[in-house]
A and B are shown apart, each in its own frame.
Chain A
Amino acid sequence: METMIEAEQLSKTFRVARRRPGLFGGIRSVVDPEVRRVEAVRDLSLHVERGEMVSLVGPNGAGKSTTIKMLTGILVPTSGHIRVAGLVPMQQRRTLASRIGVVFGQRTQLWWDLPLIDSLRLLRHLYRVPEEQHSANLALLGSMLELDEFIDTPVRQLSLGQRMRGDLAAALLHDPELLYLDEPTIGLDVVAKARIREFLLSINAEKGVTVLLTTHDMDDVEMLCPRMVIIDHGRKLYDGTVAAIRERFGGERTLIAVLDPAEISAMSHDSEGQPILDDLPYGVRQLRAESPRIWLSFGRDALPAHELVAWLGARHRLRDVTFQEPEIEDVIRRIYEEGLLLPETLANNPPFNLEHKIVYWTMTI
């Protein structure tokens, strides 16, 4: 498989002039600007093979948009090398533009006052697509995205979901090899999101379009992309699967035990009259209780799930037991808030088993 995106040690530093406050501050800022340097992206490397679907995840201001702008040739990196589809973006921007498609979730490329079909027709000329190819694509995309119902409606009258479908069609009319999506499902309802995801999977399967997707929605990541790249503070923190990160930082799983009602009366109770389990094993704690259910949280490394069930079963009569996996959103939130993957944190808290040690080692190369 050939490499679609090859980015090595990308960095982008912006020089931002600081406006001084006050009446004369504005004048002083022009004459003698106080410039500070903002490192938007630091030493970021990324390899994407043709046909892959990769998601770019990170808090706002992490450097995702800056990275995408560098990959598309809009911004020139301060240092580092990029090759996309074999071209160097900053030197061959226009050639590259005919091979990629970009969809911004919050800004449309369609003409606002005219019917959708007018925009789709004009794009044929903007991208110099042969008539036959354009008609074929229009028909295919029209049926996959179900555009017929609103293809003659002015874009300003479309709902967000319809407009997003229109933008997707617009971005794919010229058969790009690579598709960048910047928050494609933002603001959409559940049904619309599902349709867009289905569409992306089909287009990836049918046309082999490589997809790089920026998103805050973890469902997008889990349903579309086996591979997730986490960016924060301009650095790539993680490049791997969702499952692996959930396992690594998922930390605690939750066991929900449904106790036999007869048991409950025999147990100790807290101030609100809910049952409490005494003498829980090390690493297990009770989260809450709503009779007859008790939520227990246990660390992965504290004791295996079946042992906890056995322990419970030995002491109390259980009616039912279920497990809850940690929400990937909580995992991501912890990574952002606690800086779990930042090199400084990792240096202070090295992981302690072999598997994790390997992951840690590969990340610090």
Chain B
Amino acid sequence: MLNNMLGDLHLYLRLIGMQLRAQMQYKVNLLIDIVTYFLITGLEFAAIMLLFGPFPSILGWSIGEVAFLYSLTSMSFGLAELFGAGIDAFDITIRRGEFDRVLLRPVGALTQVIGSDFRLRRFGRLTQGLLAFGIALKLLPGLTWTPLKLVLMPIGIVSGAVVFTAILLLGATLCFWTVETTELTNILTYGGREMLSYPLSIYNSGLQRFFLFVIPLAFCSYIPVCYLLGRGLPFGLPGGLAFASPLVALVFALASGAIWRFGVNHYQSTGS
């Protein structure tokens, strides 16, 4: 089983390698795309800063803290968009009938789908996240760092990326039945991304619970950030819970994977 997983990983790396080589064939395009995406995401960040700027604080969050939250979620999303690009484009794969070819290969469907795309241009968002992080640090001169916090930060970013990728996978699984990406999927992906860029406390408690316990996007972005900023967690939850974020991400990812497998088997029985 482990051998299989290593084999799949190897294959994934090779598939990505093919993607990278293919995209590098169009270097100018790539450069323009990266710069453009950086500018677009940069504008999103600027918009948030302008929104929060005039006020000393909103619901207790200063502009530096908002920038901090935004930059970390941006990095999570950037990673997910980079690695999950194949899943994101799954509706095109289904519509073009290319999924048949995936089923004709002796390799797992998910490995092939994830490996089918790796959008280098999504680097723009990661870069924006890093820049925003720099700005946030400047705006938060009083932020203290402990070894625990330094460990939690990358863990939190990666957990957030895993949850977001799992959400993309749920959206892709829906394509087996609906063929094109539904608005429901867009609500969870784009909508979720927008919502989680702001402090969770501005939303009503029902929505907060949803993004903490149902689709645990906030568990892997907002909660670690609260810990890092030394703020209290929503609903009075203990601060140490922030370290449970990778576990939560893993559980959610496994659930998402199980639903995907169900979708693959169902595709076989009804055809397209």
Query: Do A and B share a complex?
Result: yes
A72, B100: Cα distance in complex, Å? 10
Is A76 touching B101 in the complex (CB atoms < 8 A)?
no
**A74 an interface residue at 8 Å Cβ cutoff?**
yes
**B25 an interface residue at 8 Å Cβ cutoff?**
yes
**A98 an interface residue at 8 Å Cβ cutoff?**
yes
Nearest CB in chain B: distance from A339 CB, A? 26
Is A113 touching B22 in the complex (CB atoms < 8 A)?
yes
What residues of A have a CB within 8 angstroms of the CB of B108 in the complex?
Answer: 94
Nearest CB in chain A: distance from B180 CB, A? 14
Nearest CB in chain B: distance from A123 CB, A? 9
Q: A75-B271, A109-B101, A114-B22 are in contact. Are A122 and B15 (CB under 8 A)?
A: yes
**A73 an interface residue at 8 Å Cβ cutoff?**
yes
Q: Give the number of residues in A that approach B within 8 Å (Cβ atoms).
A: 32
Is B106 touching A127 in the complex (CB atoms < 8 A)?
yes
What residues of A have a CB within 8 angstroms of the CB of B101 in the complex?
Answer: 104, 107, 109
Size range of the chain B interface in the assembly: 20 to 34
What residues of A have a CB within 8 angstroms of the CB of B18 in the complex?
Answer: 111, 114, 118, 122
**A311 an interface residue at 8 Å Cβ cutoff?**
no
Is A72 touching B104 in the complex (CB atoms < 8 A)?
yes
Per DSSP, chain B at the interface is: helix
Is B271 touching A74 in the complex (CB atoms < 8 A)?
yes
Chain A residues 152 to 180 lying within 8 A of chain B, measured CB to CB, are: 154
Is A74 touching B103 in the complex (CB atoms < 8 A)?
yes
What residues of B have a CB within 8 angstroms of the CB of A127 in the complex?
Answer: 105-106
**B268 an interface residue at 8 Å Cβ cutoff?**
yes
Q: A75-B268, A114-B25 are in contact. Are A128 and B106 (CB under 8 A)?
A: yes
**A310 an interface residue at 8 Å Cβ cutoff?**
no
A73, B100: Cα distance in complex, Å? 10
A125, B101: Cα distance in complex, Å? 16
Chain A residues 100 to 158 lying within 8 A of chain B, measured CB to CB, are: 100, 102, 104, 107, 109, 111-114, 118, 122, 125-128, 154
Is A75 touching B269 in the complex (CB atoms < 8 A)?
yes
Is A69 touching B271 in the complex (CB atoms < 8 A)?
yes
Is A94 touching B100 in the complex (CB atoms < 8 A)?
no
A72, B269: Cα distance in complex, Å? 13
Is A94 touching B107 in the complex (CB atoms < 8 A)?
yes
Nearest CB in chain A: distance from B6 CB, A? 13
What residues of B have a CB within 8 angstroms of the CB of A66 in the complex?
Answer: 271
**A97 an interface residue at 8 Å Cβ cutoff?**
yes
Q: A14-B270, A69-B271, A75-B271 are in contact. Are A125 and B14 (CB under 8 A)?
A: yes
What residues of A have a CB within 8 angstroms of the CB of B11 in the complex?
Answer: 125-126
What residues of B have a CB within 8 angstroms of the CB of A333 in the complex?
Answer: none
Chain A residues 199 to 215 lying within 8 A of chain B, measured CB to CB, are: none
Is B25 touching A154 in the complex (CB atoms < 8 A)?
yes
Is A122 touching B106 in the complex (CB atoms < 8 A)?
no
Chain B residues 95 to 121 lying within 8 A of chain A, measured CB to CB, are: 97-98, 100-101, 103-108
A109, B116: Cα distance in complex, Å? 12
Nearest CB in chain B: distance from A73 CB, A? 7
Give a binary string over A210-232; 1 marks a CB under 8 Å from any B CB, 0 the rest: 00000000000000000000000
Which residue of chain B lies nearest to A101 when distances are taken between CB atoms in the complex?
B104
A279, B108: Cα distance in complex, Å? 73
A86, B110: Cα distance in complex, Å? 27
**B27 an interface residue at 8 Å Cβ cutoff?**
no
What residues of A have a CB within 8 angstroms of the CB of B261 in the complex?
Answer: none
Partner of A74, one of B15, B98, B100: B100
A118, B106: Cα distance in complex, Å? 19
What residues of A have a CB within 8 angstroms of the CB of B103 in the complex?
Answer: 72-74, 93, 97
Partner of A107, one of B10, B98, B105: B98
Is A114 touching B21 in the complex (CB atoms < 8 A)?
yes
What residues of A have a CB within 8 angstroms of the CB of B10 in the complex?
Answer: 125
Nearest CB in chain B: distance from A84 CB, A? 13
A79, B15: Cα distance in complex, Å? 37
What residues of A have a CB within 8 angstroms of the CB of B25 in the complex?
Answer: 113-114, 154
A299, B68: Cα distance in complex, Å? 89
Nearest CB in chain A: distance from B71 CB, A? 34
What residues of A have a CB within 8 angstroms of the CB of B107 in the complex?
Answer: 94, 126
A98, B106: Cα distance in complex, Å? 5
What residues of A have a CB within 8 angstroms of the CB of B270 in the complex?
Answer: 14-15
Task: List the 7 closest pairs (A to B, CB-CB), nearest first.
Answer: A113-B22, A98-B106, A76-B269, A97-B106, A75-B271, A94-B106, A74-B103
* Interchain residue pairs with CB less than 8 A apart (6): A14-B270, A74-B268, A98-B106, A112-B22, A122-B14, A125-B11
